[in-house]
Structure 1
Amino acid sequence: MLVWEFLLGLAAVGAGFGLAQLRRQVPVKPLQSFRKSQQLIAGWVASERDMLYFLELQPTPRLRYACPPLDRLLGDQPCTEKLDDAGLFLSLLHPEDRGRIAGIDAHSFDFNQPLIYRIRNHEGCYVWYEEYRTPVYHQGELYAVQGILRNVHERILEQTRMQYRVSHDGMTGLHNREHYEELVKRYNEEECLPLALILCDMDNLKRVNDTYGHQRGDLYIQEAARLLKEFAAENVIISRIGGDEFSVLVLDGTQAQAESLIRSIRQRIAAYPSEEIGFSMDMSVGCAWTTQSIGRMEELFLEADQEMYRQKSSKKEVQLQALTAAAVDGDDVR
């Protein structure tokens, strides 16, 4: 694909509207103003990470300038479409960005804000770019569009990595307590929907730490997290909210769905292979459900927490009875 073919499509789609709309909506930037600074700007952005273009639209579309990195972005892709076909640009956009860029509205578009999107390069890889564009006018008529594209791929990836670290637990890879509390605040104050809160507390972690050491205890936590992660979905958000405690938020679901999920979790725990950690795994589980989340999240937590500890206490009572019975049998033998 030729550079100027790509830019014609980019100018048409990225602006998101016709020339007449641009004339009405955008403050005039005289052509003379651009010509005075054209050489300065060209030298300023002609780097490995920046791409500048100046596309004349009157009397016929003509690319006046495009710095070399744009050639390296596109490579030698063949193109047979018309020069003014916006589909040239759209075809290179990432599918998740395509609708957003194509749907830009002239009445709400802010030229002071950058457009950020992914473009498929000649190697077939999507690269993040940030674009600033400015319409250029001459004698009251839209004459050209000038723009700067900057490769921000590493910056976006680093931001993504930082966001992940901020919202995820380092030991287990699950969402962390901070992220859980943000969700609780959102659904308690801003967004109302039916949801279930499931709390899972690992049984016998202290005994594992005391008997096998804290390294084995950490493995116990990680294996529990891996098991719970099997149930994660777009509307099922799993977080580690304490040392051995996990939360499962089931968003926009029914009470029957939440109960079915709990049964599946319990079955998975019961069938978990003990050879993975050297002993069997067990968790106590409590659940609370509501049709309307706003104003109810604290109450839900208390309900689920109480049910979870009732289950944990019941298990301890059964264990105590078993130990007592074993002790009595031992005395009888003697």
Structure 2
Amino acid sequence: MKKNIIVYAIMLMFFIIAVPLSIKADIFDDIADVFNSHGFIMLLIILLLFIFTFILFKNYRDLKNKNRVLENFNKLRQIFIDADDSLIYLKDEKLKYIFVNKTAADFYNLSKEEIIGLDDYDLTDEFFADIRHNTDLKVMETGELVEEEVRWNGHIYKTTKFPVELISGDYGIGAYIKDVTEEYKLSQELKVEKNKYFRTLLFIGDGVILVNNDRKIEMINKAAERLTGWHFEEAEGRDYRDVLNFIYLNNDKELTDPIEAVFASGKVEKLEDNAALISKNGEKYFLDDSAAPIFDANGDLYGVVIVFRDATTEKKRQEKIEYLSYHDPMTGLYNRRFFEEELKRLNVERNLPVSIIIGDLDGLKLTNDIFGHDAGDKLIQQAAEAFKEACRKDDIIARWGGDEFVVLLPNTVKEDAEAVKERINECFESKKALALAAGISMGVGTQEEKAGEIIDYLNKAESAMYSSKSVSRTSNDQIHINNIIDILHSKCAREKTHAENVYNLSVKFAEELKLDKSVLKKIKNASYFHDIGKVAVDTDILNKKEFLTDKEYEDMKLHVSTGYRILNYFNHTIDIADDVLSHHERWDGNGYPRGLKGKEISMIARIIAVVETFESMTAADSYSCKHSREEALTEIRRCAGTQFDPALAEKFIKFIS
């Protein structure tokens, strides 16, 4: 069009200027005549032609400028399209390329010009061309945008194809194809990592629950299922408050919900102490937990994750530690530490008068020595029960030491404290089973007015207790040993008969030997108590008629050592303890427990050894079959010089004969 305008303008100018100069004069004259007669019309025509030429020139210039702008825009558009790392192209209605960007040209290793007019089968192998051709046909048939993922030559491409109306009115195919191989790899790695962390969250030992902004549960792991009693399928989409039923154990305080606290603050929050979770089935769990905010990519709060674990065992362990820090583990009473703190706390005028009772359990050591520490522990527990039953609920009872107890009685006069002391002993007497203790020695101290230190009255109570223990020591000792003998005889009636028979025969034999009165007195005690140590032997062994097994015999042999410890405990039996210990020693040194021989063995022990053997063989209720007097004496004579003192054996045989 540009060329047509220029040619037309030149022709017009040529007609106006050049033609009149070349025409002949006669023609010019004729024209002059015409011009003279039609001058105005000709002038108007020339003017119109000039104006029309000017307009054409102006339009040409404007069109040229617009073309330049359009060319610049197309260049700029091409630069942007070529800068895109995706393949961008346009195909005509025959699916031949009519436009490609630089990335598409580089993909085929051709120039843009070389690609124009070709189709996919001209550029790639048939397999890849079929894939792309089929997608093009799908767009042509449906007239809709089609997105697909194509894998080729080790790469993954995301294709977006759409119909484009061409200038001809037909429809071609526009395409935007992006190589997403790296993105896909990253996506797969992210999926693996996400799945790994998700699986970790599912099976981690701590409970994990995700709550969104609508307070709905999005995820609950296995540990949380176990603690809450809710399965994932039940909990998903539910309000978290239906699943996390927190309670506060102190009814006087309202519980702060840690999840709501996070929504309010946007910070990490923890569940308060003394709070617990009640599961769906009603079980109570103490929790150690924290709730943390979850923010989206824009930094907005998306939800909350609460992580918690069962701290019930730890809580109970902590409570036990706290309990044991102020309590005696054996009795459940307060310990000395707590008592001393309470002594200071209650030492105020409004609690006056304050009385203190200190008690010492008699016979604990003896019980431990004879029956073992289990029996001793049971005795301590029985004493503790007696203190608890006899005292008021608000009185402070503590185990002061191994066998000592102490009671703090606020607003209690001395007379009332003395009454409490008596009740304690009565309660203890009613509880004793296999007990050797005669009772509990106790003392009372009372602070009537705010004068002096409370510790002074504690010391007074302790002094009174020791005074009471000293005064009753002799009578208590006799009660102790009588208790032991009663226990032994209740376990085995034969032991009572045996003790009495050995006592009677030993005393008569000693009188026959004309021994000193002091020795005779020892023989009386030693002969009666010689088997007192059997109180610690098992009842079945004591009453067994058959021969003892090796193990049973070894247990039986321990009775001499036990008897020695028992008799050493009392002042009035200390002098016979060694005689009782030695009454199973042999003249030849093959006895027990120390292997003494000859006159290393006390005379009293040697006398008891002969008498006991004779009694055991001839008694009507003998452990083995009964022997005649003659058979027993024959056995004693046979064992003289080995088992028995030969001189004493001979005198005993003569004495019996």
TM exceeding 0.5: yes
Q: Distance in 2 between matches of 1:232 and 1:111?
A: 50
1:183 positional shift: 4.2
Contact 1:115 1:132 in 2 (8 A): no
State whether structure 2 residue 232 is matched by structure 1 residue 73.
no
Select 1:246's aligned residue among 405, 411, 426: 405
The structure-2 alpha-carbon separation of the partners of 1:154 and 1:45, relative to structure 1 and needing over 3 Å to count, comes to farther
State whether structure 2 residue 335 is matched by structure 1 residue 174.
no
Q: Distance in 2 between matches of 1:120 and 1:184?
A: 39
Secondary structure of 1:255's counterpart equals: coil
* Alignment deviations for residues 127-177 of structure 1 (CA, whole Å, 9 cap, x no partner): 22111123456778765333211112232333344555555445x32346x
Secondary structure of 2:441's counterpart equals: strand
Select 1:102's aligned residue among 245, 252, 255: 255
The structure-2 alpha-carbon separation of the partners of 1:101 and 1:70, relative to structure 1 and needing over 3 Å to count, comes to farther
Letter in 1 for 2:430: P
Query: Which residue number in structure 2 is paired with residue 329 of structure 1?
Result: none
Query: Which residue number in structure 2 is paired with residue 130 of structure 1?
Result: 288
Query: Which residue number in structure 2 is paired with residue 266 of structure 1?
Result: 422
Q: Distance in 2 between matches of 1:233 and 1:207?
A: 31
Secondary structure of 2:203's counterpart equals: coil
The structure-2 alpha-carbon separation of the partners of 1:232 and 1:318, relative to structure 1 and needing over 3 Å to count, comes to closer
Q: Distance in 1 between matches of 2:343 and 2:355?
A: 11
> Which one has the largest radius of gyration?
2
Q: Distance in 2 between matches of 1:291 and 1:238?
A: 20
1:154-165 matches, within 5 Å, as 154-164=313-323
Secondary structure of 2:317's counterpart equals: helix
* Alignment deviations for residues 74-117 of structure 1 (CA, whole Å, 9 cap, x no partner): 3369x9xxx8796x579x445625655626898xx995655353
Q: Percent identity?
A: 20
Query: Which residue number in structure 1 is paired with residue 218 of structure 2?
Result: 64
Task: Report which of the two has the higher share of helix.
Answer: 2
Contact 1:274 1:280 in 2 (8 A): no
Query: Which residue number in structure 1 is paired with residue 360 of structure 2?
Result: 201
Q: Distance in 2 between matches of 1:255 and 1:73?
A: 50
Select 1:53's aligned residue among 209, 228, 233: 209
Select 2:395's aligned residue among 229, 236, 261: 236
Contact 2:292 2:305 in 1 (8 A): yes
State whether structure 2 residue 338 is matched by structure 1 residue 188.
no
Letter in 2 for 1:68: K
The structure-2 alpha-carbon separation of the partners of 1:173 and 1:93, relative to structure 1 and needing over 3 Å to count, comes to farther
Query: Which residue number in structure 2 is paired with residue 115 of structure 1?
Result: 272
Q: Distance in 1 between matches of 2:322 and 2:248?
A: 23
Q: Distance in 1 between matches of 2:343 and 2:454?
A: 7
Letter in 2 for 1:51: G
Q: Distance in 2 between matches of 1:183 and 1:306?
A: 19
Q: Distance in 1 between matches of 2:224 and 2:288?
A: 13
The structure-2 alpha-carbon separation of the partners of 1:285 and 1:94, relative to structure 1 and needing over 3 Å to count, comes to farther
Q: Distance in 2 between matches of 1:231 and 1:196?
A: 15
Secondary structure of 2:207's counterpart equals: strand
Query: Which residue number in structure 2 is paired with residue 301 of structure 1?
Result: 458
Q: Distance in 2 between matches of 1:277 and 1:96?
A: 43
| Structure 1 unmatched runs, 5+ | 1-36, 321-334
Query: Which residue number in structure 1 is paired with residue 4 of structure 2?
Result: none
1:185 positional shift: 3.5
Contact 2:382 2:431 in 1 (8 A): no
Q: Distance in 2 between matches of 1:48 and 1:187?
A: 50
Please give the root-mean-square deviation of Cα atoms over the aligned residues, in Å: 4.8
1:259 positional shift: 6.1
Contact 2:257 2:271 in 1 (8 A): no
Task: Report which of the two has the higher share of strand.
Answer: 1
State whether structure 2 residue 306 is matched by structure 1 residue 147.
yes
Q: Distance in 2 between matches of 1:308 and 1:228?
A: 16
Secondary structure of 2:217's counterpart equals: strand
Q: Distance in 1 between matches of 2:408 and 2:201?
A: 48
User: How many residues matched?
Assistant: 266
1:188 positional shift: 2.7
| Structure 2 unmatched runs, 5+ | 1-192, 478-657
